[in-house]
Amino acid sequence: MALVLNDDQKMIRDSADGFFKTEAPVSQHRRLRDTADATGFDRDTWAKMAEMGFAGVLVPEAHGGAGFGHVAAGLIMEAIGRNLSAAPMLSTAILATTGLVAAGTPDQQAKYLPLIAEGKRLFALAADEAARHNPAQVATTATPSGNGFRLNGVKGFVLDGHVADTLIVAARTSGDDKDKDGITLFLVDRTAAGVGTERRAMVDSRNAARVTLDDVQVDGADVLGSVGGGFAVLEKMLDAGRACLAAEMLGVSSESFDRTVDYLKQREQFGQKIGSFQALQHRAAHLFCEVELARSATLRALTALDEGDDRAAMFASLAKAKSGEVAKLATNEGVQMHGGIGMTDDFDIGFYMKRARAAQETFGDIAFHGDRLARMMGY
């Protein structure tokens, strides 16, 4: 597949750009933060996203979704990045849908996928336990009990964990702490006895929760995929999430960059526009190149997922690593080139730096993905 958008994808890009700019602009993000909104996103906006087909972007048409695919999902995430729109897009529409499509039983798919597409059920992935992303590191246990399992453990950094209806929990049914084998995924009702969620306020004002599992009883029918073989499914979910986060960070980078270049054309010092100074021009031009590279890597990763390319995991790591580094550079430069006003809370540019930091940490930064890529390439 060529690295260009087709006409359908261009239409999705245009409608996503228009939608988030009007329905969920940066001012909404600011309001949600200032009012310490209990949900952390706007439920009406999410309902409209479902109407637009965004919530069901990866849900197959047979299950009531739009089935647009990953390139389209990335375009939606890019628009979300540009506008810093808060929505359970990643947790529900990308991660949960990927897991259910990849490994769900016909019953699980029939039960959940239509609800996801309609925007009526929210999911959260409860996988990470360590502060530094390491998905194989699972100490949470699942011990056989009755006709199912009993879960015990603590999960940190569960995105949208405090509002999700269903948690997808990675727990260990066998093996040691860091083994890839022996991890099993469970669909757990958040209101089930023994499930505790504690919301954490984060630097980017998004939602994450600490989830405690205290003798939580789950049914055998709530296993997602096979017992002990959950890691492969988890990796699929994470890789879709990584590619989509790369797309969101691309949106963060390009919006931060556009705003900065605009500012360089307006701000005057020493009797001239600061954009006429070569010290700033060269940094801006370099950043332009970097954003283009992030765009190529991201588009490749999303295309690979749509094609079922066996290098999809590699491209997801490449995109996550590169787009994360570029988002860091773009937002750092954004604040620096705005000078004092960039440091003020009244001004939006700082929001982009905060989101870039959180998105970079989510599901692995360049250190994690550099190591993963090197291992994939045999060094």
Partner 1 sequence: MADLETFRAETRVWLEANCPAEMRKPVMRDADVCWGGRNVKFTGEAQRVWLERMGERGWTVPEWPKAYGGGGLSKDEAKVLASEMRRIKARSPLSSFGIWMLGPALLKYGNEAQKLEHLPKIARGEIRWCQGYSEPGAGSDLASLRTSAEDKGDHYLVNGQKVWTSYADKADWIFCLVRTNPEAPKHLGISFLLFDMASPGVSTSPIKLISGASPFCQTFFDNVQVPKENLMGEAGKGWDIAKYLLTHEREMIGDMDSAGRASVSQIAKRQIGLDAAILADTGLRTDVVRHEINAWAFALTMERVKDEAKAGQGVGALSSMLKYYGTELNKDRQQLLMSIAGSDGLTWEGPTDGDGDLARGWLRSRANSIEGGTSEINLNIIAKRVLELPGA
Does the protein bind partner 1 through residue 21 (CB under 8 A)? no
Nearer to partner 1, 232 or 284 (CB): 284
The minimum distance between CB 118 and partner 1, in angstroms, equals 35
Nearer to partner 1, 105 or 276 (CB): 276
CB–CB of 187/168 below 8 Å? Answer: yes
The minimum distance between CB 119 and partner 1, in angstroms, equals 33
Report the candidate in 193, 296, 209 with the shortest Cα–Cα distance to residue 253.
Answer: 296
For partner 1, the binding residue among 35, 191, 269, 278 (CB under 8 A) is 278
Distance (Å, whole) CA 231 – CA 49: 30
Does the protein bind partner 1 through residue 4 (CB under 8 A)? yes
Does the protein bind partner 1 through residue 124 (CB under 8 A)? no
Q: Which two tokens stand for residue 279?
A: 């010290």
Nearer to partner 1, 215 or 371 (CB): 371
Q: Judged by CB under 8 A, how many residues of this single chain contact partner 1?
A: 40
CB–CB of 55/67 below 8 Å? Answer: no
Q: Which residues contact 263 (CB under 8 A, 6 or more apart)?
A: 337, 338
CA distances from 7 to 73, 127, 251 (A): 15, 37, 20
Beta-bridged to residue 145, according to DSSP, are 148
For partner 1, the binding residue among 176, 265, 341, 344 (CB under 8 A) is 265
Task: Assign 330 to helix, strand or coil.
Answer: helix
Does the protein bind partner 1 through residue 295 (CB under 8 A)? yes
Does the protein bind partner 1 through residue 294 (CB under 8 A)? yes
Site map for partner 1, 217-256, x if CB under 8 A? ----------------------------------------
Strand (E) or helix (H) holding 55: none
Does the protein bind partner 1 through residue 292 (CB under 8 A)? yes
Strand (E) or helix (H) holding 209: strand 207-219
Please report, for the chain, how many H helices and E strands are present, in that order.
Answer: 11, 10
What's the longest Cα–Cα distance across the chain?
Answer: 78
Using the rule CB under 8 A, give the single segment among 41-49, 80-88, 166-174, 261-269 that binds partner 1: 261-269
Distance (Å, whole) CA 123 – CA 91: 6
Nearer to partner 1, 317 or 331 (CB): 317
Q: Footprint of partner 1 on this chain (CB under 8 A)?
A: 2-4, 261, 264-265, 272-273, 275-278, 281-282, 284-286, 288-289, 292-297, 299-300, 318, 321-322, 366-367, 370-371, 373-375, 377-379
